[in-house]
Chain A
Amino acid sequence: MPISASFRRAIPAASCSPAVVDKRSRGKRAWKGKPNGMDPLLELLLNAVVAGLLLGAFYAAVAVGIAIAFGMLDIPNLAHPAFVVMGAFAVWLLNDAFGLDPILAGILCLPPFFLLGVLLYQAYYACFESRGDNALQGLAFFFGILFVTEVVLILVIGADYRTVAAPYIGPNWRIGGIDLPLRMLVPALVSLLMIGGLHLLLTRSFIGRAILAVSQDPLALQLMGASPVRTKRLAFGLSIATAAIAGALLIIIQPVEPSIGREFIGRAFAVVVLGGMGSFVGMLMAAMVLGVTESLVATLFSPSWAPAIAFGFLLPTLAIRAGGLMGRKL
């Protein structure tokens, strides 16, 4: 789990990243000389890889919304991570007030988030897409939304870190020397379920196939009798709805404060670009690679380097893919 320096300062060690916790518990085990038949370094690496896979599955939950909006609809929604944080706070409110299970709360948040996405696309379409010049203005628009969302959250909820309570936050499974903290395992499984569900929806249902079609060729879709704008509106609503679930997963994994979303912008976009813009399988693999790399770096060096890793992935990907992308659309 990557954690910024400020985060490390603000949060007591108990809620720190799995990688850090792993390191500490390993030290303790080594010190007690507890035998479990595995080379300590190998065990350390294996634990880091498993933690990274779980982390990667969570990154995929954040990135899937961007894969839909940016990869398929060509809408550069920079504000997506801010909506994820917003989802986390909505889940926190429900959990805090009614003791609702975080994941159930996330599911309850799906309809309002879907509606929010529909409205946001309506505004984006009216102001930018229909005018035709959506590059500069559209990017700045989403940047503004990102910023305003963050500030509003600070004003409404405050800049403090919030946590939720659930039975799976805390317990830890150990299988053959490998730690499986449930607060990482449950989000990872929910994320995979959500992405699998979305994949089915996109490939099996009519509206899903219309969404895939709009990403390939809006004109052909129009000829088929489906409105590209309506399809995109639905798809964007869907993309924002995923932020509710991703938010629930985020606040299960770690305490959340309003500006934490920024840390995920680079990661999520790196994952989407690296995964081939809109391919779920590619995105999932890219998220796993990023998660494992971050986890290994955090274990072997320092967690404060983690944010740099996404960038280290993104830049070469952009540089190498230049030819292909340029050929497609200049």
Chain B
Amino acid sequence: MTGDAPLSRPPMGTLAFWCWAAAFTGVVYLAGRWVTNDYVFFAGYIVLQYVLLATAWNILGGYAGYVNFGTAAFFAIGAYISTALNKWLGLPLPVLILAGAAVCGLIGLLMGGLTLKLQGVFFSIATLALAIVTQALITNWEYVGGAAGAYVIRPSRGPLGGSYVEYLFYTMLLLATLAVCIARTVERSAAGYGLAAIRDDEAAAEAAGVPTMKLKVATTVLSGALMGAAGAPLPFFVTYLDPPSAFNLAVAVNTIAMPLVGGTATWIGPVIGAVLLSIVQEAAMVTISSAVNLLLVGLIMIGFITLAPNGIMGLLRGRRR
């Protein structure tokens, strides 16, 4: 019954998926050991960062239908927590990532607890406002450079040998793979069905026994934590962090555009969207200005929302039928 299989159940066994994920990560890792040009790691890092962000966004936005416009806030908080802890205690990167994830998860808990009782649109507006207020807070936080920004020293060598950028790339590879695995697990567990029910009809979901509030808040925490983890390595990647670069509007737009372009119903959609859109942008960056580049992303996003609401995956499935 492949042809009629619901969107939420692509025909692949769980064991097979984990094997593929492990094999993919391993192959990319081994391939990376051959590469000597750091540009490949820079470009690859950006792609993987977007895979991670788009997947994190989609767990809440795609599965539950709650649109988070505040990705930039979670991302930037992850980056600044990491900057601050690095300056204060000089902790190793994995610990910084955990700390960024923990703080962002907590913010997700607060935001979710306060606003998720309402219709989704109020949550969305609150997240939009969160991005603006967080930027105001961080601009006033002198310890991490305030409005002027701060330099972060990037070690020249990574702990695994190779350059530090290469190490950052592997870290991001691991995080992105982990996020995709989490997304797929959520999608296929009871939570996945509960979230789909919430997205389709919240009152009916509640009547069917789904603890909607608890599930939504838990998902917001998970999604926020993953976004925080995505931001934590950023200071070492850019080496100079200031509010405008951390709160880049491109991050917020891309994170929403990518799942919508790829398709929000399954874990593969955001991955496809992230890889596709970040490669398009990387290629366009060389030839045209960054403003035109952003315009392109915005127009592609609007095009997909209006003409292909189920994204590339929806188009593919439609054709197969």
- On whether the beta carbons of A147 and B69 are closer than 8 Å, the reply is no
Closest B residue to A323 by beta carbon equals: B117
- On whether the beta carbons of B125 and A273 are closer than 8 Å, the reply is yes
Name the A residues within 8 Å of B122 (CB-CB).
Answer: 273, 318, 325
- The contact sample of 6 A-B pairs, CB cut-off 8 A, is A6-B244, A135-B65, A150-B249, A269-B128, A311-B133, A314-B125
- Write the B232-275 contact mask toward A (1 if CB under 8 angstroms, else 0): 00000000000110000100010011001000100000000000
Q: Which of A135, A141, A326 contacts B302 (CB 8 A)?
A: A141
B23 at interface by CB-CB < 8 Å: no
* Cα–Cα, bound, A140→B140 (Å): 30
- On whether the beta carbons of B61 and A136 are closer than 8 Å, the reply is yes
* Cα–Cα, bound, A310→B136 (Å): 12
- Write the B106-130 contact mask toward A (1 if CB under 8 angstroms, else 0): 0000000011011111101110111
Q: A144-B302, A304-B140 are in contact. Are A135 and B132 (CB under 8 A)?
A: no
Name the A residues within 8 Å of B292 (CB-CB).
Answer: 155
* Cα–Cα, bound, A230→B215 (Å): 39
- A residues in contact (CB < 8 Å) with B: 4-6, 9, 70, 76, 78, 123, 127, 131, 133, 135-137, 139-141, 143-145, 147-148, 150-152, 154-155, 259, 262-263, 265-266, 269-270, 273, 302, 304-308, 310-312, 314-316, 318-319, 321-323, 325-326, 329-330
- On whether the beta carbons of B139 and A135 are closer than 8 Å, the reply is no
Q: Which of A4, A136, A265 contacts B65 (CB 8 A)?
A: A136
Name the A residues within 8 Å of B119 (CB-CB).
Answer: 135, 325, 329-330
10 closest A-B pairs (Cβ-Cβ)? Answer: A266-B129, A311-B133, A322-B117, A148-B298, A5-B147, A144-B302, A319-B114, A127-B306, A307-B136, A308-B133
- On whether the beta carbons of B121 and A76 are closer than 8 Å, the reply is yes
Not counting A140-B301, A266-B128, A315-B126, a sample of 15 additional A-B residue pairs whose C-beta atoms are within 8 angstroms of each other reads A76-B121, A76-B124, A78-B69, A127-B305, A136-B66, A136-B199, A262-B249, A269-B125, A314-B126, A315-B129, A316-B114, A318-B118, A319-B117, A323-B117, A330-B119
Q: A140-B305, A141-B306 are in contact. Are A266 and B133 (CB under 8 A)?
A: yes
Name the A residues within 8 Å of B1 (CB-CB).
Answer: none
* Cα–Cα, bound, A253→B213 (Å): 43
Looking at chain B, what size class is its interface with the partner chain?
A: 35 or more
Q: Which of A141, A266, A318, A319 contacts B305 (CB 8 A)?
A: A141
- On whether the beta carbons of A314 and B129 are closer than 8 Å, the reply is yes
- B residues in contact (CB < 8 Å) with A: 61, 65-67, 69, 114-115, 117-122, 124-126, 128-130, 132-133, 135-137, 139-140, 146-147, 199, 202-203, 206, 243-244, 249, 253, 256-257, 260, 264, 291-292, 294-295, 298-299, 301-302, 305-306, 309
* Cα–Cα, bound, A247→B65 (Å): 33
- On whether the beta carbons of B305 and A151 are closer than 8 Å, the reply is no
- On whether the beta carbons of A269 and B302 are closer than 8 Å, the reply is no
* Cα–Cα, bound, A330→B130 (Å): 23
- On whether the beta carbons of B147 and A140 are closer than 8 Å, the reply is no
Q: A139-B121, A259-B249, A319-B115 are in contact. Are A148 and B136 (CB under 8 A)?
A: no
Closest B residue to A270 by beta carbon equals: B129
- On whether the beta carbons of A144 and B305 are closer than 8 Å, the reply is yes
Q: A135-B121, A148-B299 are in contact. Are A265 and B128 (CB under 8 A)?
A: yes
Name the B residues within 8 Å of A140 (CB-CB).
Answer: 67, 256, 260, 301, 305
Q: A140-B305, A307-B136, A319-B114 are in contact. Are A147 and B253 (CB under 8 A)?
A: yes
- On whether the beta carbons of A151 and B139 are closer than 8 Å, the reply is no
Closest A residue to B110 by beta carbon equals: A315
* Cα–Cα, bound, A319→B257 (Å): 29
Q: Which of A131, A314, A325 has the most CB of B within 10 A?
A: A314
- On whether the beta carbons of A151 and B298 are closer than 8 Å, the reply is yes
Closest A residue to B204 by beta carbon equals: A330
Q: A5-B139, A141-B305, A147-B294 are in contact. Are A266 and B253 (CB under 8 A)?
A: no
* Cα–Cα, bound, A148→B121 (Å): 21
- On whether the beta carbons of B302 and A145 are closer than 8 Å, the reply is yes
* Cα–Cα, bound, A326→B256 (Å): 27
* Cα–Cα, bound, A9→B301 (Å): 33
* Cα–Cα, bound, A9→B243 (Å): 14
* Cα–Cα, bound, A240→B184 (Å): 42
Name the B residues within 8 Å of A150 (CB-CB).
Answer: 249
* Cα–Cα, bound, A144→B119 (Å): 21
Closest B residue to A313 by beta carbon equals: B129
